[in-house]
Chain A
């Protein structure tokens, strides 16, 4: 039986720009759902003849199989009118939804997976940073993450020290805020919204809210698809496939403090979909 925390969470199920009035089938937590667009702008999602709650936000349609006890999170920074909002499009990945989020939080893989773009093999060090589970908002936050990046964004002219903040507002979504090359003092916002199809299969919907007046939209999409596809091949080969939530299996190093906090936070709310609780 799926725990309430899993059924009551919000999940992305499609791009608002690509909804079909005749309905499109998909999966959510192993259950078949049908997503209907509408010319009236009132999308619906059904599961076994039952209407599900829906929220259109961040360019995507969101739903839940249960009765969400919280509103869908917001990203106030993304509301700035000068930002370019980028729907990157779906990528299917054969991995646990929690693995997809955990990889997004892990900066240490940049030099080896995103070589010469988000990291350089000559600069693998991750400096000290701060991680906490913020009880006021019930979110995981990592701040003051600093890292050298050869090409931090499409808009970056060369290598820079980039600062990151990471935020996990709901178990299958993560948002990162990073130094915005053309606008010092502002953050670029990059999000990974994960739709758990099953415990080992997900549709990943990357989304961005950037300050970038120079790059064409398609270049922004390609840059992010390039990055995420580099992750995809890693994600599909991770072992064990499900994310271990058992503290005995954790061997924390400084680089994965965020992942330790994320696992602890999942365990605390009994979010076990895509997780394994026993070693092995």
Chain B
């Protein structure tokens, strides 16, 4: 399986992340997204006329939507990451996958404007992004009160992986995550999964720093 990849892309990272969590090897093909805009060149437009990344090629199959690629990886190698059987869980998972596109547009868009000089209406993107974060915070708070940690069901699923990267990178678009405690706990739970990998701006969990107020009892 070949992933056309950009190291700074949250949409590519979510696939690298799930592949690592499932221990599935991916062959990465680095695309000069910035500054080269290679995804807008003839060769990649032939693969994905939408002119964006990621693109996954597996034999004759070409997939160009990250949500579809997550489903494909999970169906092949991690069926318990995919809701199945329970109509409500299936529907909620689909809903979060769609929601992840809103995150990508708003939070991902603000980040590209702020960080890499892309065109866009920064204020509108930020305000859409904040609205989406508030929805996510409310949903995760409700889940937490009911004893859940992840978006759907008892286990992490492709719904979590689909939403996580844009949320974690919101500060790159000058959107603070300080107001969202449930989101921060959720991100911490995802970062603690065995096989978790980093990308720039999304760090592994470190040991807790020493308590600055701890009394020296020695």
A-side interface residues toward B, CB under 8 Å?
A: 15, 17-18, 87-92, 94, 115, 203, 216-219, 221-222, 225-230, 232-233, 236
Q: List 23 A–B pairs whose Cβ atoms lie within 8 Å, in order of A's numbering.
A: A18-B35, A89-B36, A89-B116, A90-B116, A90-B117, A91-B116, A92-B114, A92-B117, A216-B30, A218-B30, A218-B32, A221-B30, A221-B36, A222-B7, A226-B7, A226-B199, A226-B200, A228-B200, A229-B8, A230-B200, A232-B200, A232-B201, A233-B200
Q: How far is the CA of A228 from the CA of B32 in the complex (A)?
A: 16
Q: Given the known inter-chain contacts A222-B7, A232-B200, A232-B201, please indicate yes or no for A92 contacting B38, CB distance below 8 A.
A: no
Q: How far is the CA of A17 from the CA of B200 in the complex (A)?
A: 26
A94→B174 contact, CB < 8 A: yes
A219→B35 contact, CB < 8 A: no
Q: Which residues from B are CB-within-8-Å of A232?
A: 115, 172, 200-201
**Interface residues as binary, B173-201 with A (CB distance below 8 Å gives 1, 0 otherwise):** 01000000000000000000000000111
Give chain B nearest CB distance to A231 CB in angstroms. Answer: 9
A87→B32 contact, CB < 8 A: no
A225→B7 contact, CB < 8 A: yes
The 3 A-B pairs with the shortest beta carbon distances in the complex, nearest first, are: A89-B35, A229-B200, A222-B7
Q: How far is the CA of A226 from the CA of B199 in the complex (A)?
A: 8
Q: Which residues from A are CB-within-8-Å of B117?
A: 90, 92, 203
Q: Which of B1-38 contact A (CB under 8 A)?
A: 6-8, 30-32, 34-36, 38
Q: Is B148 an interface residue (CB 8 A)?
A: no
Q: Out of B32, B115, B171, which one reaches A217, CB within 8 Å?
A: B32
B201→A229 contact, CB < 8 A: yes
- Please, which residue of chain A has its CB at the minimum distance from the CB of B35? A89
Q: Given the known inter-chain contacts A226-B7, A226-B200, please indicate yes or no for A90 contacting B35, CB distance below 8 A.
A: yes
Q: Tell me whether chain A's interface is mostly helix, strand or loop, or mixed.
A: helix
Q: How far is the CA of A225 from the CA of B200 in the complex (A)?
A: 9
Q: Given the known inter-chain contacts A92-B114, A94-B174, please indicate yes or no for A219 contacting B201, CB distance below 8 A.
A: no
Q: Out of A218, A228, A230, which one reaches B36, CB within 8 Å?
A: A218
Q: How far is the CA of A15 from the CA of B36 in the complex (A)?
A: 11
Q: Which residues from B are CB-within-8-Å of A221?
A: 30, 32, 35-36
Q: How far is the CA of A115 from the CA of B199 in the complex (A)?
A: 12
Name the residue among B32, B114, B199, B204 with the largest chain A CB count within 10 angstroms: B32
Q: Contacts A89-B34, A222-B6 given; 4 further ones with Cβ under 8 A?
A: A88-B35, A92-B117, A226-B7, A233-B171
B116→A219 contact, CB < 8 A: no
B201→A233 contact, CB < 8 A: yes
Q: Out of B8, B35, B115, which one reaches A15, CB within 8 Å?
A: B35
Q: Which residues from A are CB-within-8-Å of B38?
A: 218
Q: Which of B112-168 contact A (CB under 8 A)?
A: 114-117
Give chain A nearest CB distance to B125 CB in angstroms. Answer: 15
Q: Which residues from A are CB-within-8-Å of B8?
A: 225-226, 229
Q: How far is the CA of A222 from the CA of B6 in the complex (A)?
A: 8
Q: Given the known inter-chain contacts A94-B174, A229-B200, A232-B200, please indicate yes or no for A222 contacting B30, CB distance below 8 A.
A: yes
Q: How far is the CA of A222 from the CA of B116 in the complex (A)?
A: 14
Q: Which of B36-51 contact A (CB under 8 A)?
A: 36, 38
Q: Given the known inter-chain contacts A222-B30, A230-B200, please indicate yes or no for A91 contacting B7, CB distance below 8 A.
A: no
